[in-house]
Amino acid sequence: MLAFLIRRLLQAIVVVFAMSLIVFLGVYAIGNPIDVLIDPGATQAIRQQLIEQYGLDQPLWQQYLTFLGNVAHGDLGKSMVYNISVTSLVFSRLPATVELVAVAVFLATAIGIPAGLYAGYRPKSLAARAIMALSVLGFSVPTFWIGMLLIMAFAVNLGWLPSGGRGDLGEIFGIHTSLATADGWRHVIMPAFNLSLFMMGLLIRLTRAGMVEAMQADYVKFARAQGLPDRQIVFSHVMRNISIPIVTVFGLEVGSTLAFAVVTESVFNWPGVGKLIIDSILQLDRPVMVTYLVLVVILFVLINLIVDIVYARLDPRVRLKGGK
């Protein structure tokens, strides 16, 4: 197991380094933030002063080496627009995104896996067919369109829920969050549900497919022949065998949900990191863009590493194969 962990950590370091280079080159090769930051009527001297201040007069490779050196010292740069540390700016918005994603993942898991189990246990029932039809809509209809429909239905027409914002904040273990107040829950439930639909649809279909296949396996027939109830068969035997693909997709989708909450945050005006990156792209705030994308890469690498560890615990053949 130790050799497996070391190998995966080395692979993760290589991936993060390669992706940081790609992200840096992609962001810094497109557009000129000076054109956005200063007034078009500013003198050439002022323009040149800003270019030198942000190091934009240096070659691209030298800017990248400077970036790596600053990162090694824990410095991710300063926002060109907000004129504060990028780390402080991103982490000030991160709690809002984390709580939105946490509620979305909870809804997707709490609804998707039981619904998929039922649809696989009784695949020909009317309820199972309805569940599968809704799952198709969940990952085929654009998120922004569903978000606008939810706002029209529950905020505009019915007036049950607010259309945007984060609501009142409270404290849980010293952390300021909207999940500590009733008003905060009224604000978070609709964008979280909208964000959960894609992941929920995938979990339903994946769980249902695994359930249908597992219920026809020989070990299920033997368990039934021994007189075990279906509930025990499903939760003690079937769930363990179908858990590996579910864990894999779950891990990847948690990363995707956190990374791509941009659309939902924009539609519902949620003050998270996704909204920040959209504003930074419009203003060509390069340090914020690079920091966000690098953090997303690190996030995906860490989640993949955790998924691989869980996968190896569930299926020892993964470790044995890696050892050989």
What is the tens place of the pLDDT at every residue in 29-66?
Answer: 666 666 666 666 667 777 777 777 777 777 777 778 88
**Pair 233, 293: CB distance under 8 Å:** no
Express each pLDDT in 169-220 by its tens digit: 887 777 778 888 888 889 899 999 999 888 888 889 888 888 888 777 777 7
CA distance 159 to 295: 37
86-323 CATH fold = MetI-like fold (1.10.3720)
Residue 42: the pLDDT is 66
CA distance 11 to 301: 9
Report which of residues 17 and 154 the model is more confident about.
154
Express each pLDDT in 233-282 by its tens digit: 777 777 777 777 787 778 777 877 877 788 888 888 888 888 888 888 77
Residue 103: the pLDDT is 92
CA distance 263 to 219: 45
CA distance 148 to 190: 11
3-state secondary structure (DSSP) of residue 85: strand
